[in-house]
Amino acid sequence: MRRYEMIFILRPSLGEDEINNIVDYSKQIILDENGIIIDLNKWGMKKLAYPIKKEMQGYYVYCEYAGTPAAVSEIERKFRIDDAVLKYLTIKTAESITEEEAQLAIGETEARNAAAQEAAQAETDDDSDEDADDENSDATETEEDN
Amino acid sequence: MAGRPQKKLFSRKKVCRFCADKEVEINYKDVKTLRNFVSERGKIIPRRIVGTCATHQRQLCEAIKQARHIALLPYSGSSQG
């Protein structure tokens, strides 16, 4: 198996269901070919650097997986047919990956996601008492300088 | 004006940013870093100006082109245009 990462851009006008539908069928293709999904991340709505099919915005989905070349060609064939997919990009990141390595990578992404979530939560906590924090940090800084 | 041409007026040793800081990785998803290596018009800045080493310039070039393909960076013009 090879390790791939894939990004595709969907039309911004799609509903939640349609987005999930596209994500699900691409997932299904990977799994049908005995692949393993390492990471699936919806980046959400982003501004495009240039218009694609007259759209200025797009819904980005990022997916990392271990799979076979057949799965890649099948997914890309589907994307080409599907009108809702504006653009896609698949990049091979490793020539070969074993099942164990893939499982390890899954663990890593989970750890990363958990850390990111914690950071986000800490940030929201900080925001609530931002003023108090700022004053405190200023005071400590001046002390250090002296 | 007459006189012998001065050799280098301002010569500053350029160092490859990716060799200097090993933590910075070249990745097409990292638009913030890549923005430093394209001009305002979206062109890739040549090596003789930014001073990256050949290996990293090659990787950078690849990454910028991938980022362009997936509309993270513009092919031409600013991000607005």
pLDDT digits (tens, 9 = 90+) for B2-57: 556 665 566 677 788 888 888 888 899 999 999 999 999 999 999 999 989 999 99
* Strand arrangement, sheet containing A55-67: A36-52, A55-67, A2-10, A85-94
| A73: Cα separation from own chain's centroid | 20
Interface with B, mutate which of A4, A5, A6, A7 (most B CBs under 10 A): A7
- Note the ipTM here: 0.73
Q: Are strands A2-10 and A85-94 parallel, antiparallel or unpaired?
A: antiparallel
Give the nearest chain A residue to B62 (CA atoms): A91
pTM reported for the whole predicted model: 0.76
Cross-chain residue pair B69–A48, CB shorter than 8 Å: no
**CA distance to partner chain B, nearest, from residue A61 (Å):** 11
Q: How far is CA B36 from CA A7, A82, A131, in A?
A: 23, 35, 33
Output the six-digit token pair for B41: 């018009």
Structural contact between residues B51 and B61, judged by C-beta atoms closer than 8 angstroms: no
Q: What is the pLDDT of residues A24-39, one digit of tens each?
A: 999 999 999 888 888 8
Give the nearest chain A residue to B42 (CA atoms): A49
A78 in contact with B, Cβ within 8 Å: no
Question: Residue A84's closest CA among A2, A18, A136, A26?
Answer: A18
How buried is A7 (Cβ within 10 angstroms: 0-12 exposed, 13-18 middle, 19+ buried)?
Answer: buried
The residue length of chain B stands at 81
How buried is A59 (Cβ within 10 angstroms: 0-12 exposed, 13-18 middle, 19+ buried)?
Answer: buried
3-state secondary structure of B49: helix
Q: What is the pLDDT of residues A80-89, one digit of tens each?
A: 999 999 999 9
Interface with B, mutate which of A6, A47, A50, A76 (most B CBs under 10 A): A50
Which region holds residue B51: left if phi is over 0, alpha if psi is between -120 and 50, else beta?
left
CA end-to-end distance (rounded Å), chain A = 59
3-state secondary structure of A60: strand
A6 in contact with B, Cβ within 8 Å: no
* Intervals of chain A under pLDDT 70: 126-146
Question: Residue A63's closest CA among A9, A116, A104?
Answer: A9
Cross-chain residue pair A89–B73, CB shorter than 8 Å: no
- Chain B residues touching A62 at Cβ < 8 A: 29
pLDDT at position A136 is 47
Rounded average pLDDT over B58-62 = 93
